[in-house]
Structure 1
Amino acid sequence: MTVTVALAGDTMLGRGVAARLAAGGRGRELFAEEVRAALADADLFVLNLECCISERGERWPQPGKRFFFRAPPCAAEVLAELGVDCVTLANNHALDYGFDALADTLARLGEVGVRAVGAGPEVGAARAFQVLEAAGTRLAVLGVADHPEDFAATPDRPGTAWADLHGGAPGWLEELVVRASAAADAVLVTPHWGPNMTARPPPHVRRAACALLDAGATLVSGHSAHVFHGVAHSILHDMGDFIDDYAVHPALRNDLGLLFLATLDAPPGGRCRPVRLEALPLLLEPGRTSAAHGEAWEWVCERFACACSEFGTSTATRGDRLVVDWS
């Protein structure tokens, strides 16, 4: 028996994407049918929501902060209609419009049945994992972020599950992974880590990823760079972006991305293990994501193969997808 988990990186529904939503656009305008067809192959879908969903709040007073992302309330319905089961809010935009907007985000997601991890009304809730179930398999999902520290939840303040990952995984996070492993058949840790616009993970991200696997994580899928990185066994260092309206770096090509589908072997009564990773190359236009074709598809294939080779990982193509065999 197997279970397939769709994984997407930074999903930004604010600014120009929010304007499109407010003008009457919905999920079918934002995501092409080819993307939806790929998602239909998955049993579960988890992504990084890089904005708040609210009509309230004031901009976070962080000196030097340049970008503030807020989506209209209908964004929650868009995510639900797309089939999203869980989002992580542990990132540098969860508190862009303050505590009220974070509370609205959690409420809106809850109203449409989309789970959330990585942020909450206090530190215990922010760090809590969620257990999803599909195909007879229980998947625990937990989200953390290594920046910004001033977004961190405390015992008496809302915020994100901040973790200092520069020395590996802190003790509380390792203990949390152990508890999640005891509560489910598989554990997905989805960290927001490292700097923006980089072509490969920094050393501390690589060390932290290995520490999370050692603690009992089944799969680690990161984000933050806005550019997809290479994968190692059971580790997606960075998934890049899923939808946004960001300026495009001419060399790093953050307008080209990947939608990942990780298949886990789920033996009856046993622990799950990752056996295969497929990825659909994406074209990210402002406020719309579709499957990449032609030269764009070839660029993604070449870049992904090269990035994976740095970790000793071989890639292949199967139809319109890239494949990594983990069995």
Structure 2
Amino acid sequence: MANKEYTLNFTGDVMLGRLIDQLYPTHVSSPNDERHVRGFQRNYTAESPWGTALPLLAAEGDLNFINLETSITTHPVPWPDKAFNYRMHPANAIPILSAANIDFACLANNHTLDFGTEGLVETVWTLKQHSAVHATAGRGDYYRVAFAGAGETTEEAFAPAILELPRKSQRNDSMTYGNRPSTLSAENLDSVTPKHLIHIYAASDHPYAWRDIPTFHFVDYSAKAREHLKRLIWKHSPPPLETRSTESSPALKIFSFHWGPNYSWHPAPEIRQMAHFLIFECGIDIVHGHSSHHVQGIECPAPGKLIIYGCGDFVDDYAVNKEYRNDLGALYRVIVQEQQEGGAHLLQHLAGGDGDHDWVVDTISRLTGELMGSECWEIGGSSLLTWFSLSTASIS
């Protein structure tokens, strides 16, 4: 019998505030933004922000990872002297995130604290409430949105989020997407399908003004920062040579990093060096990079290792840059397989020949070639063997 395969979906910036938030009946007060969207409100649902990517996330993604580039708060006081301050109403976050089965939200970015530490605390509470809501909505405790990179305490901000693969809701065929109940109790799930633990860390290299906020994981490119990261990762996920594999040992380690400037085709040398440091000295398997607002290249520096330097924008209301095409999103799909080597394929969600699809694929292929000297689609593997495929989607 073929070994089980799982699909991990990685996206870039998901900014659900400002005009998007105004599309819902309950929203934060912003009369200027509300004026622009009044005619669209009646037809906009919790599923709408995800566009044609919704089936890939909600039905085909075993785990879904995003960078949540907004605060979730009604706190009205913005961070001073900042050009853009984003927030969305907490009442909208839960339906939108659950519509796409989002499992992990990176909170290490330059908008998490847009409404101060009060806004961050409400953001964290909202994500925790998301878990509690689903615990009483027919899914038992089988669905939650984990987060890392910021929190109520320093420990919470720095510690990895821990997910299980497969989701508890997928641990056997009788389990479910949606709201149909399981035929098995939670304590019996482990005997049906083996679980693999996934550790996800998160940090941001900007804004510099937030570097001393203890509940925000700011990381620069200094030797001190590297030592901090290495110590942190090995504390929670010890090197395999130092510990025997146990039920608490992660099968995959992921680092979600908000780094670099907007609108730059190539990652800076210090970013590439940091990515390689995370892979080769900290044991990270997948680097989930974002911040550029457009797609960048990927790199496969070793078998079973993947660096996505810039996932690009995925959901937002930003002005369109015609050169960098930040209006086109990519869904990076990493296939993991239990102890069996696999090949790679390019998964096309928009039909081949579609101009937007071709632009995204060609751009990532070109930038990847410039990084590695060749296109990189195949990835070897270890305990969970992986390969990479790409899907483009129409998003709003």
For the criterion TM > 0.5, the same-fold answer is yes
Correspondence for 1:105: 123
Q: Distance in 2 between matches of 1:99 and 1:130?
A: 20
Q: Which residue of 2 aligns with 1:228?
A: 295
Report if the CA contact (8 A) 1:313-1:324 is conserved: no
Partners of 1:195 and 1:27 in 2: CA distance: 31
* Aligned match of 1:147: 206
SS of the residue 1:112 aligns to: helix
Mapped contact 2:149–2:157 kept (Cα < 8 A): yes
Aligned-residue offset at 1:188: 0.6
Q: Secondary structure at the match of 2:290?
A: coil
The offset of 1:274, in angstroms, is 9.9
Secondary structure at the residue paired with 1:324? coil
Identity over the aligned pairs, expressed in percent? Answer: 29
Larger strand fraction of residues: 1
Corresponding residue to 1:216 among 283, 296, 304: 283
Deviation string, structure 1 residues 174-210 (Cα, Å, up to 9, x no partner): 1222234344111010000001111111111100000
Among 74, 77, 80, the alignment partner of 2:98 is: 80
What is the aligned partner in structure 1 of residue 73 from structure 2?
54
Q: Are 1:255 and 2:327 counterparts?
A: yes
Of the three residues 364, 367, 372, the one matched with 1:312 is: 372
Alignment of 1:6-25 (within 5 A): 6-22=9-25, 23=41, 25=44
**Pairing 1:204–2:266 present:** no
Indicate the RMSD between aligned Cα atoms, in angstroms.
2.5
| TM-score, normalisation: structure 2 | 0.71
For residues 110 and 118 of structure 2, the distance between their equivalents in structure 1, rounded to whole angstroms, comes to 16
Q: CA deviation at 1:275?
A: 7.0
- Structure 1 residue matching 2:279: 3-state secondary structure: helix
User: Secondary structure at the residue paired with 1:249?
Assistant: coil
Q: Give the TM-score of the pair, scaled to structure 1.
A: 0.85
Post-superposition CA distance 1:237-256 (Å, at most 9, x none): 11001100111111111111
Cα contact 2:314–2:328 (8 A) shared by 1: no
Q: Which residue of 2 aligns with 1:301?
A: 361
CA separation in 1, counterparts of 2:102 and 2:200?
A: 13
1:174–1:189 CA distance, 2 compared to 1 (3 A): same
Q: CA deviation at 1:31?
A: 1.8
CA-to-aligned-CA distance 1:281-315 (integer Å, 9 cap, x gap): 78xxxxxxxx9972111211211111111123755
Inter-CA distance 8–278: structure 2 relative to 1 (3 Å threshold):
farther
Q: Aligned letter for 1:225?
A: S
SS of structure 2 residue aligned to 1:119: coil
Q: Quote the offset at 1:278 in angstroms.
A: 5.5
| Long gaps (5+) in structure 1 | 283-290, 316-322
SS in 1 for 2:318: coil
Q: Which has the larger radius of gyration?
A: 2
Code of the aligned partner of 2:270: H
Identify the range of structure 1 (258-267 vs 3-12) with the bigger mean alpha-carbon deviation: 258-267
Which aligned pairs between 1:107-256 and structure 2 lie closer than 5 A?
A: 107-113=125-131, 114-135=145-166, 136-152=195-211, 154=213, 157=214, 159-165=215-221, 170-182=226-238, 183-214=249-280, 215-233=282-300, 234-256=306-328
SS of alignment partner, residue 335 of structure 2: strand
Q: What is the one-letter code of the residue matched to 2:201?
A: L
SS in 1 for 2:75: coil
Matched, 1:66 2:71: no
Deviation at 1:267, TM superposition (A): 3.0
Aligned equivalent of 2:303: none
Could you tell me which of 370, 377, 386 is aligned with 1:324? Answer: 377
Report the CA distance shift for 1:52/1:305 in structure 2 as closer, same or farther (over 3 A).
same
Q: Aligned with 1:6: secondary structure? A: strand
Structure 1 residue 229: Cα displacement: 0.5
Aligned counterparts of 2:197 and 2:373: Cα–Cα separation in 1? 28
Moved more, 69-78 or 292-301: 292-301
1:27 is paired with a residue of what secondary structure? coil
- The answer on whether the counterparts of 2:203 and 2:256 sit within 8 Å (CA) in structure 1 is yes
8 Å CA contact 1:241–1:257 kept in 2: the answer is yes
Give the CA deviation at 1:226. Answer: 0.4
Task: Give 1:276 deviation, angstroms.
Answer: 4.9
> Could you tell me whether the CA contact under 8 Å between 2:47 and 2:99 is conserved in 1?
no
Pick which of 6-15 and 52-61 moved more.
Answer: 52-61
Partner of 2:56: 38
Residue by residue over 1:203-240, the C-alpha shift from the partner in whole angstroms, topping out at 9 and shown as x without a partner, is: 11100000000110011010011011100011001100
For residues 265 and 272 of structure 2, the distance between their equivalents in structure 1, rounded to whole angstroms, comes to 13
Q: Which sits farther off after the overlay, 116-125 or 184-193?
A: 116-125
Matched-pair contact (CA < 8 Å) for 1:89–1:116: yes
Give the AA of the match of 1:67.
Answer: F
